[in-house]
Amino acid sequence: MRIVERSLEDILVLKTERHTDARGWFMEIYSEQALADIGIRFRAVQDNCSESLRRGTVRGLHFQVPPHAQAKLLRCTRGSVLQIAVDIRRGSPNYGKASCIRLYEDDDLLVYIPKGYAQGTAALEDGSQYTYKVDYPYMSAEAYNGGISCLYDREQLDWEKLLPDTRLIMSDRDRNGLCRTLDELDSGFVYGE
């Protein structure tokens, strides 16, 4: 496993190694030691899978507040997705900036998103699926969950460019129940802490 790209300083795109022979292929997609060897301290405690039936389905941008914050390790397993992360650490030089990384089922890439980012995905084609591991369990209580609308800043997320001629599909909570601007957001994350 190796780092092939950095986005917004801390978001890392990792390339896994696929071993192919006449039978098919094998790939190690999670190894705590392999991650530590490239400088990432990440111990998964939960593994999640999400499928979006239609192109344009957007999930997020979500996070859990400290001390229940989650780092994530995400991989596309079918179709293609746009992985989105927004820096929500007050005082960060990248505060409010978005990272958008396209992932495909056969690219052998993982994206590591550390704590301090709101995270979401958008399906780039029908039937897209992704899995993600987290290093802290999901806390269902509303007080532990936060988010900003994926419509928060057209300069950062210009959906006409990201998904041209596509109607966005999202839950009512994601469309109306999350903060619409960063000024409304008190994430609890501070850069450097």
Active-site positions read 62, 132
The secondary structure of the chain as a DSSP string is: -EEEEEETTTEEEEE--EEEETTEEEE----HHHHHHTT------EEEEEEESSTTBEEEEEEE-TTS---EEEEEEESEEEEEEEE--BT-TTTT-EEEEEEETTS-EEEEE-TTEEEEEEESSTTEEEEEEESS----SGGGEEEB-TTS-TTT--HHHHSTT---B--HIIIIISBSSGGG-----BTT-
